[in-house]
Structure 1
Amino acid sequence: MTMRDFINRYATGATTGLFLVSGVSGLALFFHLMPQLFKEMHEWLSLVLFVPVGLHLYRNWPAFLGYVRRRALILPLAISLALAAIFAVPAISSGTGPNGMARIMAGLEQGTVADMSGLLGTSPEALAKHLVQAGYRVSGPADTVSAIADKSGRPAREIIMAATSVPAP
């Protein structure tokens, strides 16, 4: 099988398959469904998607040039850029950066068990006990999430997610 045959046979299918994975994982992340399962999958496979898309464009280059010549790409590209700007411009102009949630998570990682317990509506002792029962190494309510992560050999975000499942008092 030549490279051209390979591209003709598999480029569209791979583009479709990875688009579906990216779409489903993106929806799951949007609705906060199992982010520990979907986040890395979504990020990496969305990057991998560039490969079959590039092969698909290569395979269909004459048709793509037809879209360019007829200026049929102008409106879809303008709409795409406008939609992206709706998210990017306020984040950049506010000085908070492009990802407010990343800043919140970074703050939680530096917070103590006692700090998080107030956010979760439980006592510091109950949260510490809950994390120990979940398998994390917690000395007490004064431990920071990042210190617990270091001692436990686990990512800090995993500990934050585990903390959110603490039973209400």
Structure 2
Amino acid sequence: FDPLCPDSRDAWPPLRRAADHFGARRVAVVVHLFPLPYHSSSFIACRSIHTVHKLNASAVYPLLEKFFKYQESYYNTPTYTKTRAAVVAKIANNLVAPVIGEANLAAYRAGFNDSRSDQAARISFKFGCARGVTGTPYYFVNGIPLGDLDFPLDYDKWVSTLDPLVGKM
């Protein structure tokens, strides 16, 4: 998923609903970030999520959902004339702070500026490329790509895809 990709945004609710349907004890959803180079500020968004993950792993999905909800403010045109620092500050103040709290913003900023968050975002991209991902969303179930399904997958398609696998558990 790319936090600034409209297709990823639209694909998330039915996937999350299907995961909730089966419950965390039966289905685990792992999102690998894939910052698409043609979505401006996508790398910054992915780096932000990796940084938040280091601070509080349970805040990752709420932050991803914030990116999806306010995507239009960070996706392409609104950020073209802004400096990278301005985009990072806007993301920190408007998206990250409400999720992790103002008290944790200093730790977030320090983590964001650490080379490890940069490396994590780069590895996310390479991880997807190594598996043949060319766009988002791109799905794998138990490591197998779902390349032959109609996209985006709606809730019913997710349930019908996962039900035979979960039923055997």
Same fold (TM over 0.5): no
Q: Tell which structure's C-alpha radius of gyration is larger.
A: 1
Greater relative contact order (Cα 8 A, min sep 6): structure 1 or 2? 2
Q: Greater helix share, 1 or 2?
A: 1
